[in-house]
Every structure is written in structure tokens, then in C-alpha cells.
Structure 1
Amino acid sequence: MNQNTTEFDQLQSFVTSNLVDHQNLQLNFALLADEQNEVNQLSDGLAGCINLVDLKLFLRSSFIEKQNLTKIFSALIKCQSLTTLNVNLDGNLICDEGASALGLILSKCSNLTSLILELYRNQIKIKGANSLYSGISKCSKLVNLEIYLAFQQAEQILTEESHDQINQNTKDSLDFDLTQITNLTQLAIDFRYLKIGDEGLYQLGLILSQCKNMECLKMYIDQNGFSEECLPSFFIALSKCVKLTHLTLYMTLESCCQQSAFKVGQTISEQLNTQFLELWFQGDGNLQNLISGLSSSNSLLSLYLWLDEQSVLEDKYIQNIADALLKYKNLKNIKLLFYQEEKYEQQIKKLFVKLRKLKRLINFDIEIV
């Protein structure tokens, strides 16, 4: 938290404070869903913060209805000096209607340069995501945009759908435009479990290709039901972001064949000028093929791999991973993070010894968590 930030955990303490003095503010409240008075007090209090520049508003699991959501956030329109907004509405179940209302309101906060929305567990689907992004796209001064929409937690998914089922059942497609946000350099997108399918991944590639000044991109796109054949074309579309140097990608390749995993890595290395690449990878024995595909990159300087499969620590995979990494031409920083038990410590030590042959490495780190 900023040293000059004023923080309130009690609503009454906030509304009775000298509102016009607040410039950097953090509010941590749990409003009652049926308490209209609290909603009115919060709305009036925010409207009184006319000199507000930076706001962190955390209203987790308050079950705010659309009408009250509109009332609270409409107050921010009066805060003409507001440039930085961080909102956490985790577990409020605002659904598509709430997301649409939020997008409409934020479109009127024209001076925002940084916006972070944490909207986990809100049952927002593709339709709501489109409306939210369409509204935010009118905030033309944004430099940093982070929106986390994970539709639901993994343990809440009751049925598994095949790629074909998801593509057949998906009626809505991603449809929003970011071209008005010409200064956007940092973007984080979380579409986990949204089931966008092949068409959605294709549309996402087209949308991101509009962000010509983007330098840093973080994407959570696992559990979306797109097929492996669509990934190379997605990265080709992303290649139009010529300033992109930092890419963080969370995805699942467990159904990928060896050839497809290699093709994904090869396409990233050939199409993107990425210097820093962070991959959260889930998917058995195809890791070495992905790493091999990436090895042709001339621009890659730092590689972070987050590994979540025990099979990658078997002796045969350790050897393959080491051999693949030794082919990298300009790599200076490697970090490998394993979500594994201590029984694999010896295999990881073997990997460490092998990679010491990379004399150009400046930093090499392995962690087990």
C-alpha cells in the first residue's frame, strides 16, 4: 500500500472523515446485501471525494445487486481527478447485467490511466465480458488495464466438455474493440473457464492485434475448450503487437500432441519479439516439445516456467528438458518452479547440474512449492 494511502475498514469511519482531503484511498468493506442505507452512505461518501486520485475499493462477497452497483460506481464519475482505480468484487454474483452496468459507468471515467478489476466468482459469461470491455474501451487514456473474470473455480466445474461440445454450444463470441485505447502498454486478461472455444480464441487474437503499443501482456486462457490447431494462428495475430516484449501465458496443453506442442513454441519464437516469457504449463510429456519449439528465438532473454505435472520430473523428461534448454542462444535468466513433492529433489538437482553448462546464464533458479 502507498505510504500516503488512507485506509478504512469501517464504513462509518469513512463517511465521517474529511472526504475532500482524500487523494489516495483504500476501502475494505463487506456491505449487507439488503442494507440500502449502507449503499447510500458509501455512494455519497465517494461522491464527496472530489480530489481523489487513487482508489482501491474492495467489496468482496457483498452480493451487490445491479441497482446498488450502479449507485455506488456512478459516484466515481464526479471524481474528475481519479486516474487509478483498483476494484475487487470477488464473489458478488453481479452476472452479465452487473458487468454491463459496470462497463457503462466506467466508460464515463474518462481520466483513468490505470484500471484493475478483480471480478472472480461473479458468473460473468461472454455476453457480460463483451459489454464490460466495450464500456472500458472508451477510457482512451488507459495505460494499464487488468481484468480478471475467471467464470468459476476449477473445483466448481461439474462436467467436462470436449472441444467439439464447447464449440457447438457456444452461442456468443468475443466482440469488443480496444483501438481507442491507443496508449495501452500493459494488459492482463483472465478468461478462464469462459469456454470461448476456437472462434473465441480467433476473435481474441484479432482484438489483441489492435493494441499496437502493448509492451506487456498477461493472459489466463486455460480451460476454454479451444483446439490445439488454433494456437499458432492466435500467436501470428499477436505478432502485430510489434512492441510486445513481456508475455505471461497460463494455458493447458494436456491434450496437445507432441507435434502441436512444438508448433506452439516455434510460432511464439518466430512470430513474437518477446524478451521475457512466463508460461504456466499443465500437460504431461509435451513440455520438452514446447521448450524445443521456443529454442529458435533470438530475442528471448528470460524464461520462467511454472510446472504442474509430476511426469515432467521423470528422468527421461529431465534429460529432454535440459537438452532443449541448452539450445537457447541468448537466454540469460531461467526460473523453474515446480508444484511437487520433495521426493523429486534428486531429479531437479540433475536438471540444475545439466543447465550449469549454459555459461551465458546470469540467473538460474529452481523452486519447489
Structure 2
Amino acid sequence: MMIQQKQKLLSLNQFLEWPSLSSETNLCIDANDLIIDDQAIFCLGSKLEKCTNLKTFELWLQGNQISAQNASVIGLAISKLTDISNMSLYFGVNKLGNKGTSHLISRLSNCINLSTLNLMLSGNKIGAQGVQGLQDSLEKCINLQNLIIDLGVNQIGNEGTSYIGSALTKCISLTNLSLYLNDTKISAIGASALSQALEKCFKLSILNIDFRANQIDDEGISDIGSALAKRTNLLNLTINFGYNLISDNGVSRFSQFLEKCINISKLTLSLRKNKIGALGASNLGLALAKQSNIYDFSIDLGFNSIGDQGVSGLWSGLSKCINISTLNVDLTHNEICDEGPQVLNSSLAKLSNLKNLQIYLGDNQIGDQSVSGLGFALQSCPQLQKLDLELYCNEFEDKSALAFGLALSKCPYLQIFTANLGSGLNQQTKFKIKANIFKIKKLIQQRISL
């Protein structure tokens, strides 16, 4: 049985001065946040070419001023690492541009034994032309199973996204994919191009896509949902549509497709700061009600307008997910009053396997009855061990806050408690709440903002 060599972690200077690295198989070079001149890059490339036995390699060059010419030198050295199977290149926040990115990507075609590739290129002023060659390179990497590409905060646009999609269709063995495309000027056209590629990634079981801060609308999210519905092997899905142009119509269509992803066990979905109301949230709840295998679920609907009706619909669906042990729900700033949280409270009582719970309800209009009721609802979660709660900027008074604290003190297995209840309570109330929290016998960590 082969024993994997422990990773050798070296600074840039240590690497350049190392007498012989030809026998190394697992190497990490950390040169983050340095001012590296052309001569040092040339020496790095020359030395790296000699590491012919490398199987696992990490190169950290983030926050430098790596130019297109520098990237070309490094790319040439990487092309000599023909036996490498696991490679991570961290080039975020540099000056690669289209030319440098193209040079770097083109050299990956020589690394035909790659099974894991992490390519981190955020903040490099990359346009569509910079990623055009990705298809030709990844086509040669027929063993690639795990792929992370971070192109966030660039200008690849719809054209660049289509190039990425074309590249993904060549990765026939891909099982684990993460794409960070936040703030890259993508609209529905780009999302549609990517969705067509996802339909052909037949072996995907883990998928993570970050679409934050683009111009994706209802058509874009619907196209992505349609592709996901065809990936029946998906077990773990993380998708971030925050800060886009999505309304109830788009979320409703996406939810219909989500219903068909019946094998998902871990789901993380962000729709923060879009144009979503009660209808979209309720339809999402209907889809969740059919996800019987989910044990870990996170949803961020902060800064929308779902109101009480949306909260009721969402939580009615969540109450059917009886296997959930970890639940994170962010409903900050959503025009919520008291009717919705009452459904939330009754739904919590049905989640008997819940161990980790995060609920953010800050900046709404929630009153006394809902806050005191939340405390009693949490008592009904017999296995609850970790609780993170935000209730700041609401309309409850001291009496209900006290009732909440008293009820929470009777959660027998609670170990970690974090809360922000706002600053409007009087000093005596704050003292009593903290005193009740300290009565929890198994509590080992607490942080309360009052």
C-alpha cells in the first residue's frame, strides 16, 4: 500500500533556496501578498520545472502584481508537471488580464493526469477572451473529477460564461464542481449557456455555483433549474442567486424543477436582495416539502418582501422535512409581522431531529406573541444543541423577551447559543435574560447582544 507523502509547505524564498526538490511529491508554495519581481518569477519557474515527481501541488500567489508575462513563465513550468494529479493555483487579485489568463490556462492541457484542479483567478480584469481556451485545455484532462474555478469580480460576461460551459461539456468524469462567477456581468443569456453544459455533466453529485451580483432574471434562474432537474445524481447543491433581478415568477419555476432533485441531502440556496414576495417563498416551500432526504438546509431570503404569507408557506414546507438536523434560515428585512412567525413556531415542533438552528428575523415588525412563542417552540426541539438567533429591530417588549429567555433555559441539550435581540430592552430585563441562559446545564459557549 502506497503511503502519501506529507505536504511540504515552503515560502517562496525557501523554495528558491531548496537544494533538491526532485523527490518531492506533495508541495505547497506560499507567496501571498508579496511584491515579486520578474527575476524571482523566472527563478520560480526554473525551479518548478525540475519538480518532475509532483503529484499534489499548491501555489499561492494572491495579492501580488503578477503580470501576463509572469503568468506565462509559471504556465510553462506547470506544463512540465505531467504526472501531477492534484493542483491548486491561487492567483486572485493580480494583473493577469486576458493574455496572462490565456497563457496559464493553455498550459493545463499537458497535465493530462489531473483528477483535481482548483483555479482561483478572481479580481484579475479578465474578459471573455481570457477564458476562451479553457475548453481545449480541459478536454485533455479526461480524468478530472473535482474542479473549482473562481472567476469572480472579472468581466467575462455572457460570452465568457458560454466558453466555460463548452469546457465543462468535455469533463466527462466530473463529479464535484464549484464555479464562482459573482460580479461577472452575466445575464440570462450566460445562465442559459451554462445550464446547457450542466445538463451534460452526467456524473455530478456535488455542485456549487455563485451567481451573486449579476443581472440574472426569471428566465436565467428557470434555465438553471431545468438543468438541475436532469441531474438526478445530485446529493449536495449550493447555489447563490443573491443580488440579481429575480421575482416570484422565476423562483416559482425554479421550485418546480427543484422538486425533481429528489436525492439531495444538503441544500444551500441564496436569493438575497431580489424581488421576491409571498408567492415565490410559498412555492419554494411546496418544493421543499417533497425533499424527504434533506438533512442540512440553508436558505437566505433576506431583503425581499415575502411577508407573513411567505413565511407561512415556506415554513409549512420545511415542517415536512423531518430528517433535517441543520437548518439556517435568513429572513432579515422582509415585512414580517406576527402571523408568519406563529406558523414558524408550530413548524419547529415537528422537526424532532434538529440539532443546529440559525434563524435571522432582524429588521421586521415581529411582536410579543411571536417572540415568547418562539421560546416555547424551541423547547419542543429535544435534540437542539446549537442556536443562532437574530431578532433586532422588531416590535416586542421586555415582557415577551423575558418569557423567551425563561423558555430557552429549559432546552436541556443546548451547548452553543448566539443571539442579537436588539438594544431596546431595559437593563434589568437584559440581566434576567442572561441569568436564565446561564441556567442551561450543558451550555459551553454563549454570546448575547442586548
1:134 positional shift:
2.1
State the partner residue of 2:175. Answer: 143
Structure 1 residues 324 and 253 mapped into 2: Cα distance closer, same or farther (>3 Å)?
farther
Alignment gaps of 5+ in structure 2: 8-25, 32-40, 389-417, 421-450
For 2:129, the equivalent position in structure 1 comes to 97
Deviations 1:225-247 (A, max 9, x none): 12212323212213333322211
Q: With structure 2 as the length reference, what TM-score do the two structures score? A: 0.67
Output the TM-score relative to the length of structure 1: 0.81
Q: Using the alignment, how far apart are the partners of 2:72 and 2:190 within structure 1?
A: 35
Aligned-residue sequence identity (percent) comes to: 21
Q: Would the alpha carbon gap of residues 181 and 356 (structure 1) be closer, same or farther in structure 2, given more than 3 Å must change?
A: same
Match of 1:309 in 2: 332
Summarize deviations over 1:164-215 as a string: whole Å, max 9, x none.
xx9xx96666122334432210001111222221111221111112212111
SS of residue matched to 1:66? helix
Hey, what's the Cα distance between the residues in 2 that align with 1:6 and 1:122?
29
Secondary structure (helix, strand or coil) at the match of 2:290 reads helix
What does residue 276 of structure 1 align with? Answer: 296
Deviation at 1:219, TM superposition (A): 0.3
Taking the TM superposition and a 5 Å limit, the aligned residue runs for 1:67-146 are 67-146=99-178
Does residue 25 (structure 1) correspond to residue 46 (structure 2)? The answer is no
Q: Which residue of 1 aligns with 2:36?
A: none
- Partner SS for 1:106: helix
Q: Deviations over 1:131-166 (max 9, x none)?
A: 20221121011110000100269xxxxxxxxxxxx9
Structure 1 position 290, deviation (Å): 4.8
The CA distance in 1 between the partners of 2:165 and 2:121, in whole Å, is 16
State whether residues 235 and 267 of structure 1, in contact with CA within 8 Å, keep that contact through their aligned partners in structure 2.
yes
Q: Find the structure with the greater CA-based Rg.
A: 2
Report the alpha carbon displacement of residue 338 of structure 1 after superposing the two structures with TM.
Answer: 4.4
| CA-CA distance at 1:14 after TM superposition | 5.5
Higher mean C-alpha displacement, 310-319 vs 280-289: 310-319
Residues 241 and 310 (structure 1 numbering): CA distance in 2 closer, same or farther, change over 3 Å? Answer: closer
Stretches of structure 1 lacking an aligned partner (at least 5 in a row)? 154-165
Task: Answer yes or no: is 1:174 the counterpart of 2:192.
Answer: yes
Question: Does the 8 A contact of 1:126 with 1:174 survive in 2?
Answer: no
Task: Tell me which residue corresponds to 1:216.
Answer: 236
Distance 2:68 2:275 in 1: 48
The within-5 A match list for 1:179-328 is 179-252=199-272, 255-270=275-290, 273-282=293-302, 283=304, 285-286=307-308, 288-307=311-330, 309=332, 321-326=344-349, 328=350
Higher relative contact order (CA 8 A, sep 6+): 1
Give, in whole Å, the separation in 1 of the partners of 2:357 and 2:351: 17
After superposing the two structures, state which structure 1 stretch, 218-227 or 354-363, moved more. 354-363
In the alignment, the residues of structure 2 paired with residue 103 and residue 337 of structure 1 have an alpha-carbon distance, to the nearest angstrom, of 42
Structure 2 distance, partners of 1:111, 1:338, is 42
2:52 is paired with a residue of what secondary structure?
Answer: helix
State the alpha-carbon separation in 2 of the partners of residues 231 and 221 from structure 1.
10
1:330, distance to aligned residue in structure 2 (A): 4.8
Residue 437 of structure 2 is matched in structure 1 by: none
Q: CA deviation at 1:288?
A: 3.0
8 A contact 1:262–1:289 mirrored in 2: yes
- Equivalent residues in 2 for 1:151-166, closer than 5 Å: 151=183
Q: Is the 8 A contact 1:61 1:90 kept in 2?
A: yes
The equivalent of 1:66 in structure 2 is: 98
Q: Is the 8 A contact 1:112 1:139 kept in 2?
A: yes
Structure 2 residue corresponding to 1:336, chosen from 352, 358, 365 = 358
Change (3 A) 1:148 1:339: farther
The AA in structure 1 aligned to 2:180 is Y
CA distance in 1, matches of 2:104, 2:240: 29
Whole-angstrom distance in 2 between the partners of 1:35 and 1:254: 37
Gap change, CA 1:338 and 1:170, over 3 Å in 2: closer
Which secondary structure state, in structure 2, belongs to the residue aligned with residue 278 of structure 1? Answer: strand
Write the distance in 1 (CA, Å) between the matches of 2:242 and 2:142.
32
- Structure 1 184/84 Cα, relative in aligned 2: closer, same or farther at 3 Å? same
Q: Which moved more, 1:141-150 or 1:283-292?
A: 283-292
Q: 1:22 to 1:178 in 2, by over 3 A?
A: same
